[in-house]
Amino acid sequence: MQPKSSNLKATQAALAKAVRLGHADPLNGYAPQRLAVYARLVRNNTFGFIDRCFVEAPNHLSATRWAETKERFIQEGKATSPYFQDIAGEFLTFCQTQTDFSADILALMDFEYTQLLAEVEKTNLADPIAWDERTEMQLSPTAFLKSYDVDFLSSHFSQLEKAASHIIVWRNRHFQVKQQKLSELDFWLLTYLAEQPTSLSHLSQALADLIADHASLQPILAQAWTNWFEADVICPVTD
């Protein structure tokens, strides 16, 4: 039995290598035409999923460079997950270990991958409830805070401007994925809620402890709290 098992593993490894490299040479009974079909199928499925996830980043690269990087991912990338839906994350990780793309391109790719994470997050958001300033809130499980050294949202992705930017990416209860640049106050508020659930009353006191002239900021904080709740970015803590 052992020789048969060893032969099977050897054949599987050789087949996987042939498909990765796009070889069409005969392999243990596999006709060149069959190997070519497998190679095309793997590339069509993988490239298609990558292109559906990363829509904006390729616009800042030559088509040749983008295609070559995807092909190198097929040939050299190391799969860490058996699930097809994880291809985009593995491609991003692969690109981060290479020197093909600039830090700005990688940041844009990370943003687009975060959009995918928000879309596939399995949490179902509950309907809104009545709340007051003592209701403890938290960052929604479908919301993701990101910070980059490049700004692409201000130009609607047409330019990669060298400027620090804080971004929130989230999916609302209507299954719409949204994103928005954040002010310093909004970023502080949402970061605080991401680290620890709290109430508006408690957060207002925390702001007062940080800033001496906080009175003018309190109405702005309260409005921001309400806006983010209505947008499904923050939600009440549930048992």
Q: Kind and range of the H or E element at 147?
A: strand 143-148
d(CA 136, CA 111): 29
What pTM was estimated for this model as a whole? 0.87
Q: What is the model's pLDDT at position 25?
A: 59
d(CA 144, CA 233): 9
d(CA 74, CA 43): 7
State which amino acid sits at residue 148.
Y
**CATH code 3.10.129.10 for 137-236:** no
| 239 residues of the chain, pLDDT tens digit each | 444 556 656 656 666 666 666 665 555 566 667 777 888 888 899 999 999 999 999 999 999 999 999 999 998 988 787 777 899 999 999 999 999 999 999 999 999 999 999 999 998 888 888 899 999 999 999 999 999 999 999 999 999 999 999 999 999 999 999 999 999 999 999 999 999 999 999 999 888 887 767 788 889 999 999 999 999 999 999 86
d(CA 138, CA 229): 10
Domain residue spans of the chain? 2-101, 137-236
**CATH code 1.10.150.690 for 2-101:** yes
Chain position carrying tokens 């940041």: 107
